[in-house]
Structure 1
Amino acid sequence: MAEEPKASPKEAVPKVRSRTSTPPPPKKTSVGSPATAKSVAKAAAAPAASGVSAPTAKSDGGPDLRGEWGNLALLCLLYTLQGIPLGLGQVLPLILKDRGATFTELGVFSLQSWPFVLKLFWAPLVDSVYVRSIGRRKTWMVPSQLIIGVLMLYTASQLESLLGDGDSTRPAIKTLTALFLMINFLCATQDIAVDGWALTMLRKENSNYQATCNAAGQTFGYALGFTGFTALDHFQLLSLPGFMSSCGIFFIAVTVIVAIFKKEKPLPPEDEPEGIRDAYVQMLRMISMKPIQLLFVMLFTWKVPFAVCESVAPVKFQEYGIPKEHIAYVTSVLMPMYIMIPIVAARWTGGKMPLKLAMAVYPLRLATGPLTAILAFYTPASVSPIPWIFYAFLVLVIAAAATTSELMFVSQMAFFAHVSDPAFGGTYMTLLNTMGNLGGRWPPTAAFFLVDVLSCQTESCLLQMDGFYTVTILCTVLGVLWLLGTKQMIQGLQEKSPSEWKLHHEHLE
């Protein structure tokens, strides 16, 4: 999953000056107005979550979503758009492997997902500069989605030559990477805008449903881009260029409809933004906080053990004879589960220690690595048809990996919402999400390179070795050491008082 994408409730990096109040939403240019200490105190007293907090209950005990269903549907649709390029970015390595790409080249192509890691660097611009007549969020969302649609149409027209034929011409890895890098840069920009829009589109007591829309919408979009295309291609109903062209038209059509028919709420005068420079100063102050630094160490390392199982393994199964459409079918069987888990898991992430759930399922997710390697080793490539019992085991292992991955994601997002300083929630949440995205993006890139480096299967090798298994063993050992070495640190992070996570306004003076 893309990632994991990924995604969370946050207002994309608002700006704060010394003695500012709650970070104000932007306007056409970066302008600011100082606030009083009273407004800061009021903001600090607000519930600490633009995210995964428990919903306000109606008199019958359930959340009050009256009047919200249209907004929830729109958010799901916008996040679905975001997931489609992520799914295409995952299916292309399988096609490139068929056309003769090496694992090193696949590692280069994996860089196309990195804009989601780096979006913090331009989030203040997205949050601060906008055209009042268009709307704060639509100023960035509408052109981003339109350009994505145009880029998809262009890429579709060039795709056959870029992929090569596997014999006389090799895949144009650098060009493909550059095109998908631009598409994902625009998707990350759209993500900043939509995340911020969700916080004003939904009522405050329902803001936690933004995370649900994010997870469910991105997962469905990923399924359309990955499983949807693979199924259509297998039955020769639609080629990849045709599928990408259809997606481009879909992007443009949805964007035009939203631009015309969905209006943004006007900004209150007190919520006018401050300068872009102040947002970056605020962000640097946050990075200097000790709890944030410890959390970064955790997020940067905790997904290393899963890189091979979840990124390299699908390509390896294909190399060993499993058709890529079968891999997509296995994934599609589990899609309803992917969508439901974030909704169901929210009940286990309340309270003061949301990361307890992540740490509880970590050993199970770690075990899926060696299990996947064992399945790959015993892949019956020479048997046709491949026995159903093999696919049954494959579904079980993938289901275990996917379930634990989703539970860890929900747990992580709940912790972000729990510790985020409500007075600076947008900047805080964007920073935490960027840290989480970075921890999820670099291990797969490194794993692809290491598998190639540690493989030696030619006649000149003293010892024939498949780097896939070597890296799997290495990742598993690192995972065990990580689990033993960070337990106390993670427990300490959860036990810190709320004041230790707050960026008090006097720190900015």
Structure 2
Amino acid sequence: MQSPTFKQAILNRRMLICIFTGFSSGLPLFILYQLVPGWLRSEGVSLTEIGLFSLIGIPYVWKFIWSPLMDRYSLPVLGRRRSWMLLTQVLLLFSIAGFGFVDPVMNIWNVAYLAAAVAFFSASQDIVLDAYRRELLPEHELGLGNSIHVQAYRLSGLVPGSLAFILSDHISWQAVFIIVAAFMLIGVILSLSIKELNNTAQAPKTLQQAVVLPFKDFINREGTKSALQILAFLFLYKLGDSMATALQTPFFIDLGFTKTEIGVVAKTASLIAMTIGLAVGGIVMIKLSINRALWLFGFVQIISILGFAALAEIGHNTYALAVAMGFEYLGVGLGTAAFTAFIARATNPAFAATQFALFTALTALPRTFANATTGVIVEQIGWTNFYFICTALAIPGMLMLLKVAPWREPSKTVTQEIA
């Protein structure tokens, strides 16, 4: 069977849905990891306290615990997937807006509680969005569909990472958070406009089945040794860049950039990088295997971390900021696209919610626990050495590719590889 052209593959309704799932999934996470740290730093909160805020990401790590409930049960309206989508998105809309009504200096714990709630609702939304996307995409579209999802995911970061900071120089933080929260309406529109997929037969009949069968299926398909290697890879592959981007906004503020400079440069550089990334990522996913994409994009991802080390040495320079941010969006975006496609390939559609939640939870571990130490590390050794450490931490994940996704496999397209 002849592989579809890039134009044929990208111009269909499933790819449009992937754009919406990516944007809706990425927005709350970037609010937690870009906007909230920048807001706290601009209000005088210490780097150590901001670093500890990474612990509010614990729901992303433990979401596989309640994912069987979302696989087994549904709300009375809209169906198994859409009902959970709509509920979590409405809760996110109101909880994100809530940040604007809290004083971060006088009530830092209230900020933490609210951030934890946003993380829980966001992780729950991810469970159902990932499951829906896995069920939506046919095998030969996993690579491209997940690439588009990730680029839209990164695109959503422009709202809290660019627009919000530009607005904060002109209006109150309360108004900023209300405006940013309103972008969750994109997810609400998605939930109300798509159709529930005709896969009710896949729903587990009991809660016990929803909990046990997904794990048993994964071990049986891969074998114990291979399964453990895959789980180790999922933990290590994004470790370096996850730590590197944990304090990105406070880093820029410490270098003397204004919030407007951060916003404008982020918008320009990231849009260019994401346009390039979508084209390159899509073509590579179609023409090469997911394995080779992991290798190629993984190296780009590592090099992009060094851009921050260079920026730390250069200091306040908008051109250097643009290059560093553009390369980071390109490298990390491409690496995440290939990584997400790998995760999708490793899941069984019959257990999409629980298996996807388990795999993505492992990728969130470093972002949650390792990132909690980043503020302390930076205050001890400085920004440049910190980014060198992040670069070194990205290497073990690349070495795991030798076991889980070797380059020297028969040359084949994504369609052939996963069909």
Structure 1 residue 133 displacement after superposition: 4.2
Confirm or deny that 1:188 pairs with 2:132: no
Is 1:83–1:222's contact at 8 Å kept on the other side of the alignment?
A: yes
Out of 300, 303, 312, the position equivalent to 2:235 is 300
Candidates 81, 91, 102, aligned match of 1:147: 91
| 1:144/1:371 CA distance change after superposition, 3 Å | closer
- Cα distance in 1 for partners of 2:48, 2:311 equals 23
1:239 paired to 2:150: no
Q: What residue number does 2:212 align with?
A: 281
Residue 376 of structure 1 pairs with residue 315 of structure 2 = no
Local SS of the residue matching 2:256:
coil
TM-score by length of 1: 0.68
Change (3 A) 1:490 1:203: closer
1:84 to 12, 27, 37: 27
Q: Deviations over 1:355-383 (max 9, x none)?
A: 33333454554344454234323425xxx
Q: 1:417 Cα shift?
A: 3.8
The C-alpha deviation readout for 1:245-275, integer Å capped at 9, x for no partner, is 23445546963x566655424555x444222
Residues 482-503 of structure 1: CA deviation (Å, up to 9, x unaligned): 37xx63x4223225999xxxxx
Cross-structure match for 2:387:
472
- Whichever residue aligns with residue 341 of structure 1, its letter is G
1:315 to 240, 250, 263: 250
Q: Aligned letter for 1:106? A: I
2: CA distance, partners of 1:264 / 1:155: 33
Q: Cα deviation per residue 1:295-342 (whole Å; 9 max; x = unaligned)? A: 222332343433554233542331232223212222211232225514
Cα pair distance change 1:189/1:55, threshold 3 Å: farther
Task: Count matched residues.
Answer: 403
Distance 1:419 1:244 in 2: 37
2:58 matched to 1:114?
A: yes
Aligned mate of 1:392, from 306, 314, 319: 319
Aligned to 2:280: 344
| TM-score with structure 2 setting the length | 0.81
Which residue of structure 1 aligns with residue 267 of structure 2? 332
Structure 1 Cα separation of the partners of residues 393 and 140 of structure 2: 41
Choose which of 365, 372, 376 in structure 2 pairs with 1:445: 372
CA deviation vs aligned residue, 1:23-79 (integer Å, no higher than 9, x gap): xxxxxxxxxxxxxxxxxxxxxxxxxxxxxxx9963xx8853678x43x654553354
1:69-111 Cα deviation digits (max 9, x unpaired): 3x65455335423333233221221221222211210012222
1:116 is matched by which residue type in structure 2? Y
Residues 375 and 207 from structure 1, CA distance in 2 versus in 1: closer, same or farther, beyond 3 angstroms? Answer: closer
Give 5+ residue unaligned stretches, structure 2: 410-419
Alignment of 1:133-144 (within 5 A): 133-144=77-88
Contact 1:84 1:224 survives alignment (8 Å): yes
Instruction: Give the structure 1 partner of residue 295 of structure 2.
Output: 359
Secondary structure of the residue aligned to 2:246 is helix
- In structure 2, what residue type is equivalent to 1:87? F
Larger radius of gyration: 1
Aligned to 1:41: none
Aligned to 1:11: none
Secondary structure of the 1:273 match is coil
Structure 1: 5+ residue stretches without partners: 1-53, 164-169, 381-389, 455-465, 499-509
Name the structure 2 match of 1:416.
343
Q: Give the match's secondary structure for 1:450.
A: helix
Deviations 1:211-240 (A, max 9, x none): 245223322322112211112223x1x432
- 1:185/1:220 Cα in 2 relative to 1: closer, same or farther (>3 Å)? same
2:10 & 2:330 partners in 1: Cα distance? Answer: 27
In the alignment, residue 108 of structure 1 is paired with which amino acid? Answer: L
Report the Cα distance in structure 2 between the residues aligned to 1:277 and 1:496, rounded to whole angstroms. 39
Encode CA deviations 1:457-502: one digit per residue, 9 max, x unaligned.
Answer: xxxxxxxxx443443344444556x37xx63x4223225999xxxx
